[in-house]
A = this chain, B = another copy of it.
Amino acid sequence: MIVVMKMKASQKNIDAVIHRVESAGCQVHPIVGVDRTVIGVIGDGRVVDRRQIGRMKGVENVMPITKPYKAASREFKPEDTVFSVGGVIIGGKDLVIMAGPCAVEGRTELLEIAHACKEGGAHILRGGAYKPRTSPYSFQGLAEEGLRYLAEAREETGMPIITEVMDPALVPLVCEYVDILQVGARNMQNYTLLNAIGRSQHPVMLKRSMIGTTLEWLMCAEYILSHGNNRVMLCERGIRANETETRNTFDVNAIPVTKQLSHLPIIADPSHATGRWEYVGATAKAAVAAGADGLMIEVHQQPDQAWSDGRQSLKPERFKRLVGELRLIAQAVGRDIPVDSLEVNQNGRTGIATPIEVVTKR
């Protein structure tokens, strides 16, 4: 931590800061410059509250040096996090394709899409049973009924399933049904939910909020990791910017950035990141080229009949074609998208994810 004193700070102000820092058990290292004094703090700066120091007389600014996350940091864990969910390896050399409808709309519809997704190259099935909707009057999801249909689709197709959970009280119930929990963008900083998920020890995909910096995002991952739940993957789904032609703005930089700062796998969601099916393909390709470990893509048989987000959903045939195109790009960057992984998975899977040792990829 670096404490920058004001130009007109008195020696008494400077001494007070030094005393405060030393009382917290840290060493100080004052640098007397031409215009002002700067105080370096040696030791774990996290024990000294940055905002407290910032309020002391004569202090202009306090700048942190050490990143505030630890378990999520590549500095502290250099090797990639790789884990298996229902036989599907996440974070390894091969990319993972998650696909399915925005919302689970009914048993028949879901089973049909699930088969189409598997046929199109998906490894994991997505589907919303609890939907965060802007309006209280909109369809809010089938709830537990939706979870049952998802579990049935897993039985039929062999694909592990992922679904969003919004209510901390429902985490245990949702864990009974699905393989991977999803934290939506609106709940990235819902710490009650993050703690409940951390305690569940269940695999989780943490979406970035529409406004979050990577630092804030990794701090949210840290909430989950701090409970010893290491099966965490990140998901970039677009931020809010000025553009009106797309629903969100896909921050492709976030892929190399999180890869450098963290060891966690990173998934891209081009459906939400664009909001329009016409742009999903181009953005999905960009994500693969930039190094994403997987994609989450919305697929619907009849997007113009979808109960939510139809505008950004691909039809099954287009999805299948896209996976083929993505595979070529994955191979161009030294990776692959396995198309027969599901057969492989069908035997070993247990319905619910089993912990595996974290292995080093690179």
List chain A positions with a Cβ less than 8 A from chain B: 2, 4, 7, 20, 29, 31-36, 38, 40, 42-44, 46, 49, 51-57, 63, 65-66, 68-69, 75, 132-137, 166-169, 186-187, 189-192, 195, 210-216, 219, 222-223, 226, 239-246, 249-257, 259-261, 273-274, 277-279, 281-283, 285-291, 303-313, 325, 328-329, 331-333
Contact = CB atoms under 8 A, between A and B. Distances in A.
Contacts of A214: 243, 245
Contacts of A288: 289
Contacts of A44: 34
Nearest to A43: B34
Given A136-B222, A213-B245, A40 B31 contact: yes
A254 B223 CA distance: 33
Contacts of A252: 250, 252, 282-283, 286
B242 A213 contact: yes
- Can you list the 10 inter-chain pairs with the closest CB atoms, starting with the nearest? A289-B289, A286-B286, A256-B282, A285-B289, A55-B310, A31-B40, A286-B290, A328-B332, A186-B189, A211-B211
B261 A257 contact: no
A249 B245 contact: no
How many copies make up the complex?
A: 4
Given A166-B191, A239-B242, 19 more contacts: A4-B65, A35-B75, A49-B308, A51-B306, A54-B310, A55-B311, A69-B135, A135-B219, A135-B222, A167-B192, A169-B169, A243-B254, A245-B257, A245-B261, A253-B279, A256-B281, A256-B283, A285-B290, A286-B287
Contacts of A250: 251-253
Contact of A242 (B54, B190, B240, B328): B240
Contacts of A242: 211-213, 239-240
